[in-house]
């Protein structure tokens, strides 16, 4: 018997997140480990009069690709994939890897070069109605330091919410932030100012990420000043970094320190011009997520945290920074403060005085 929470997640993804309509072409991307959810989605999409297109893979395919593909293959743009993405209406992306370290020893230069080549596909995908969900697997549970049953409870507790209610609650925070020009963040080894005048904060309420629970914007690219320390370890392209410190001058990272993965970070920020600038400022508001698990989809939503991303900015926020990179780093704000145009608005992990 299918776990009823899988049925509930499927309904949220289809009816709330991507809003499947009759006649839609809906791609379902996922690994074999989440086949039960794929089947449930497939059936429900058909019942809604739409066309499901399952794309079932394996996390080893990607590491094998970078290991065995010739330079010619790596540098060939996949026109078939591009044309399909242009024609579909919705995209449901399910991640369910067997091995979170599958890409750990892959040449990062191959990854960054291929990422640049695939940028047009990324742009087209972002135009669609899309959502990303991480299915609870043993590998995710192990990385989180939990049993599979504990991790399933963790995931479903974070995701199965009244997202329309969440959307309404976020409105007051978005309105507040959109009224300001400068954000100052103060905390452990942190004192940084980001300009946001003319930029738009957007609600993260389950339409693209599941779980969700954040508000975010794109800071002015050349205005960030100060330094910041990120408490939580994060993983990017299969490589873990932790204890990260950035110093910014005129919007650009001028110094990088890290307890783990410092050389890798320095390599990534050289990917292109935009990779050394901030593309995002986000505030985590999902208080059902109480701890980090080294999974950015969850960790950036932790209630009582903020995150900044280096690299590409969201154009819907008014951002113009372009990069093949978008890498989030997360800071615990339980002992931090945030000021908007000099006024205290956030303290010890929560908004105040609104």
Element (H, E) at 127: helix 119-127
In 256-320, which residue ranges form alpha helices assigned H by DSSP? 262-268, 296-299
Domains in the chain: boundaries = 4-160, 166-351
Give SS3 for 82: helix
Residue 177 dihedral angles phi and psi, to the nearest 5°: -65, -35
User: Hunting for tokens 């992990």 — which residue is that?
Assistant: 349
Number of residues written out for the chain: 354
Of 62, 48, 58, 59, the residue nearest 10 (C-alpha): 48
- Given a contact cutoff of 8 angstroms between Cβ atoms, the answer to whether 91 and 122 are in contact is no
- Given a contact cutoff of 8 angstroms between Cβ atoms, the answer to whether 216 and 201 are in contact is yes
Note the pLDDT of residue 107: 87
Note the pLDDT of residue 127: 92
Note the pLDDT of residue 112: 83
Cβ of 330: how many Cβ atoms within 10 Å?
A: 24
Q: Which CATH class is domain 4-160?
A: alpha beta
> And the tokens for 178?
């959109």
Q: Write down the pTM of the prediction.
A: 0.85
Cβ of 95: how many Cβ atoms within 10 Å?
A: 18
CA torsion 17→296→121→95, rounded to 10°?
Answer: -70
Please write the tens of the pLDDT for every residue from 142-164. Answer: 989 999 999 999 999 999 999 99
**DSSP code, position 183:** E
- Given a contact cutoff of 8 angstroms between Cβ atoms, the answer to whether 207 and 200 are in contact is no
Q: What whole-number distance in Å separates Cα of residue 60 and Cα of residue 58?
A: 5
Digits of tens for pLDDT over the chain (354 positions)? 779 999 999 999 999 999 999 999 999 999 999 999 999 999 999 999 999 999 999 889 999 999 999 999 999 999 999 999 999 999 999 999 988 888 888 888 898 889 889 999 999 998 999 999 999 999 999 989 999 999 999 999 999 999 999 999 999 999 999 999 999 999 999 999 999 999 999 999 999 999 999 999 999 999 999 999 999 999 888 788 999 999 999 999 999 999 999 999 999 999 899 999 999 999 999 999 999 998 989 999 999 999 999 999 999 999 999 998 999 999 999 999 999 999 999 999 999 977
Burial of 179 (0-12, 13-18, 19+ CB in 10 A): exposed
Longest dimension (CA), the chain: 58
Q: What whole-number distance in Å separates Cα of residue 10 and Cα of residue 8?
A: 5
Q: Which segments of 89-138 are extended strands (E)? A: 90-95, 129-134
Q: What whole-number distance in Å separates Cα of residue 200 and Cα of residue 43?
A: 38
In 1-107, which residue ranges form alpha helices assigned H by DSSP? 4-11, 35-47, 60-68, 71-74, 79-87
- Given a contact cutoff of 8 angstroms between Cβ atoms, the answer to whether 94 and 59 are in contact is no
Chain centroid to CA 308: 11
Q: What share of the chain is helix, strand, coil (3-state, %, to 5)?
A: 35, 30, 35
Give SS3 for 273: helix
Cis before 332 (ω within 30) = no
Of 23, 22, 25, 26, the residue nearest 10 (C-alpha): 26
């Amino acid at each position: 018997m299918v776990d009823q929470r899988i049925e509930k997640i499927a309904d949220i993804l289809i009816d709330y997140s991507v809003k499947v309509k009759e006649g839609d072409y809906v791609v379902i991307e996922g690994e074999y480990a989440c086949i039960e959810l794929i089947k449930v989605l497939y059936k429900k999409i058909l019942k809604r009069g739409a066309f499901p297109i399952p794309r079932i893979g394996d996390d080893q395919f990607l590491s094998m690709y970078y290991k065995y593909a010739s330079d010619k293959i790596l540098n060939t743009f996949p026109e078939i994939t591009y044309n399909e993405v242009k024609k579909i209406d919705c995209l449901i992306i399910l991640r369910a890897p067997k091995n979170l370290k599958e890409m750990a020893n892959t040449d990062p230069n191959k990854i960054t070069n291929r990422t640049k080549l695939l940028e047009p596909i990324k742009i087209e995908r972002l135009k669609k109605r899309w959502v990303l969900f991480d299915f609870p697997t043993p590998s995710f549970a192990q990385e989180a330091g939990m049993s599979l049953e504990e991790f399933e409870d963790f995931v479903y507790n974070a995701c199965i919410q009244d997202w329309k209610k969440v959307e309404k609650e976020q409105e007051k925070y978005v309105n507040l932030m959109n009224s300001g020009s400068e954000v100052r963040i103060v905390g452990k080894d942190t004192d940084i100012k980001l300009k946001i005048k003319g930029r738009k904060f957007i609600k993260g309420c389950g339409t693209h990420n599941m779980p969700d629970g954040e508000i975010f914007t794109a800071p002015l690219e050349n205005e960030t000043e100060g330094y910041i320390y990120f408490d939580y370890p994060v993983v990017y392209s299969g490589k873990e970094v932790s204890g990260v410190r950035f110093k910014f001058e005129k919007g650009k990272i001028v110094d990088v320190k890290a307890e783990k993965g410092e050389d890798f970070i320095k390599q990534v920020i050289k990917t292109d011009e935009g990779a050394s600038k901030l593309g995002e400022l986000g505030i985590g508001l999902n208080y059902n997520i109480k701890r980090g698990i080294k999974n950015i989809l969850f960790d950036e939503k932790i209630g009582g945290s903020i995150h900044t991303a280096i690299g590409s900015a969201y154009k819907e926020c008014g951002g113009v920074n372009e990069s093949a990179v978008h890498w989030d780093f997360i800071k615990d704000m339980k002992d931090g403060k945030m000021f908007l145009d000099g006024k205290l608005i956030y303290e010890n992990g929560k908004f105040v005085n609104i």
